[in-house]
Chain A
């Protein structure tokens, strides 16, 4: 166990978990932590307040320490090529924060992570889709937002459309799409992005069963072809099917890291006994 665990639990010690012999790790995470200020997203500092501060005027007092919490802290692990790792945990356990940090959406407060190779992040289905644009136009736009070059998207365009099964609608505005078509096209762009590392968040929660199945299969192929996949999901069946190894986050801490079967069993046991840590957003940091 590389991360300090405060809560006692059934520990699983992976022997440098799942790393292929002779390959250097693709992802090395050390002591990664992210502190948020509660309500930071809602409290917008106005210029007036700031000016008041500068001029020393009495204003709405703000306790600097108030409401700070660690969404993630002291998390460390490494992953090799071809590894598919599930990330599980309750809501607010830090799963999404971990992915946001690795995807470079936001910077960590402490610790570090090294990612070797190209990174594809699927944190949201349909990033940048615009309703007024056609499906065809959106494929290129969304691809560019995900970091693909125009040529790259063009060369995979047919595969993307075939996977999403939206052929006849390709030149209609996206606002006419059903939500299923919308999500299929969104996911299809993401999985056709060639990258050494694939970070995916809850994307399997979309679409009907057949779509989910194809998405999972697509990710299995990705891992088999040597890509490193990190999958955050609440769907334990999906995790069990795709990922031989799983990381269990609890209260922003890495609680377990090991073979999926054991980690998922421990998680289920914790859920059943209510032995899960506090949601960090309710704990004063």
Chain B
């Protein structure tokens, strides 16, 4: 009915409303129709996050820079942890980029449904855009924080080799993994508010189980295999390897990592889709 012909973009089909049961995956077509919402929510978060801060977007760089400096000083210089032949800052920073993407997106995503309770109870839209918004804003933060990596690489004279071609693969896996965990946590947090309190602590544990400031080569024997259950271990090493070309490539260990990431995503989508029905009543 629109003269501008814009209506065709929205489905002119009919909606059948009935009690829902069983399990299934979220409607991908509908999510796609709401892609502008994802864009504007991410834009809102980016704008409001920095509009009232003094140094603004510099926070995105200051935080990993400070962390890297502390690791460098304590673990590199004082404790003398080995860094697989790389200068310590360059050893830590690529891994930190990957880790910060995950933790940043989870911090946003886990509380996303509950923090939008007023919307969830009043407006229909695919609720899945809420935990996904943090993935988008995280990409912007990651891009800004990457500037420092270029500075570091230049300072130490380390140029990435052909390994960098593998970076999109690691980035994609990181995206899948982060999406899976974020979707899980956001839906869980509606039913169990414990998530909010457990998450900082669990993230911290996870961080120590991920080779960000140490090299996984310090692990020996069967521990190496057990360690690989953590998909972040292989992803972080993948980032490090593809960006510097110096460290060992996470070749076969990438398979279990990809499997875990995929499993988390699919199960997360199934759980979210099921839990979503009562969001408006419970949240």
Q: Does A47 contact B (CB under 8 A)?
A: yes
Known: A118-B10, A133-B48. A141 touches B41 (CB 8 A): yes
Top-8 shortest CB links A-B: A106-B280, A113-B17, A144-B37, A124-B122, A47-B194, A104-B124, A112-B18, A116-B14
Report chain A residues within 8 Å CB of B51: 132
Minimum CB–CB distance from B77 to chain A (whole Å) comes to 42
Residues of B within 8 A of A44 (CB): 191-193, 282
Q: In the complex the two chains form, is A111's CB within 8 Å of B18's CB?
A: yes
Contact with B along A95-138 (1 / 0, CB 8 A): 00000111111111111111111110101100110101100010
A237 CB within 8 Å of chain B: no
Interface string of B192-219 (1 = CB under 8 A from A): 1110000000000000000000000000
A220 within 8 A of B: no
B residues 48-81 near A (Cβ < 8 Å) are 48, 51-52
Contact with A along B114-148 (1 / 0, CB 8 A): 00001111111100000000000000000000000
Does A155 sit within 8 A of B, measured CB to CB? yes
Shortest beta-carbon distance, A54 to chain B, in Å?
A: 13
Tell me whether A46 is interfacial, beta carbon within 8 Å: yes
Inter-subunit contact A226/B1 (CB<8 Å)? yes
Known: A45-B192, A194-B2. A146 touches B19 (CB 8 A): no
- Is B12 located at the chain interface by the 8 A CB criterion? yes
Asked if A132 and B17 sit within 8 Å, CB to CB, the answer is no
CA distance A152 to B9 in the complex (A): 10
Q: Which residues of A contact B (CB under 8 A)?
A: 32, 36, 40-41, 44-48, 50, 100-119, 121, 123-124, 127-128, 130, 132-133, 137, 140-141, 144-152, 155, 194, 196, 225-227
A226 CA to B1 CA, complexed, in Å: 9
* Residue of A50, A124, A144 ringed by the most chain B CB atoms within 10 A: A144
Interface size on B, residues (CB 8 A): 47
Known interface pairs A109-B19, A150-B39; A123-B282 also in contact (CB < 8 Å): no
- Quick one: given A119-B15, A147-B10, are A107 and B40 in contact (CB under 8 Å)? no
Chain A residues within 8 Å of B192, by CB:
44-47, 50
Contacts of A41 in B (CB 8 A): 281-283
Check A112/B16 contact, CB under 8 A, given A50-B192, A104-B124, A107-B277: yes
Determine if B4 is an interface residue (Cβ-Cβ < 8 Å): yes
The docked-state distance in angstroms from the alpha carbon of A119 to that of B7 is: 11
Instruction: Enumerate chain A residues within 8 angstroms of B119, measured Cβ to Cβ.
Output: 127-128, 145
Contact residues in B for A155 (Cβ distance below 8 Å): 4, 6
In the complex, what's the smallest C-beta–C-beta distance from B188 to chain A, in angstroms? 9
Known contacts A112-B16, A118-B12; decide if A130 and B37 are in contact (CB<8 Å). no
Residue ID in chain A nearest B279 by CB atoms = A106
Which residues of A sit under 8 angstroms from B281, Cβ to Cβ?
A: 36, 40-41, 106
Contact A115 B15 (CB under 8 A): yes
Check if A105 sits within 8 Å of B121, measured CB to CB: yes
| Given A140-B40, A147-B34: A114 in contact with B280 (beta carbons within 8 A) | no
Complex: how many Å from CA A106 to CA B281? 7
Known contacts being A150-B36, A196-B1, is A101 close to B122, with CB within 8 Å? no
Q: Which of B17, B36, B40 contacts A115 (CB 8 A)?
A: B17
- State the CA gap A118–B1 with chains docked (Å): 10
**Would you call A110 and B14 a contact (CB within 8 A)?**
no
B1-A124 in contact (CB<8A): no
In angstroms, Cα B192 to Cα A130, docked, is: 27
Q: With the chains together, A41 CA to B41 CA distance in Å?
A: 25
> Contacts A105-B123, A108-B18, A150-B36 hold; do A100 and B48 have CB atoms under 8 A apart?
no
Task: Give chain B residues whose Cβ lies under 8 Å from the Cβ of A148.
Answer: 36
Question: Please, which residues of chain B bring their CB within 8 A of the CB of A141?
Answer: 40-41, 43-44
Asked whether B224 is an interface residue with its Cβ less than 8 Å from the other chain, the reply is no
CB distance from A268 to the nearest CB of B (A): 30
The answer for the CA separation of A194 and B2 in the assembled complex, in Å, is: 7
The answer to whether A133 and B15 touch (CB under 8 A), given A40-B281, A104-B124, is: no
Q: For residue A131, give the distance in angstroms from its CB to the closest CB of chain B.
A: 9
CB distance from A170 to the nearest CB of B (A): 16
Q: Residue on B with the closest CB to A106? A: B280
Complex interface: chain A residues within 8 A of B15 (CB): 104, 114-115, 119
Give every chain B residue within 8 A of A124 (Cβ-Cβ).
118, 122-123
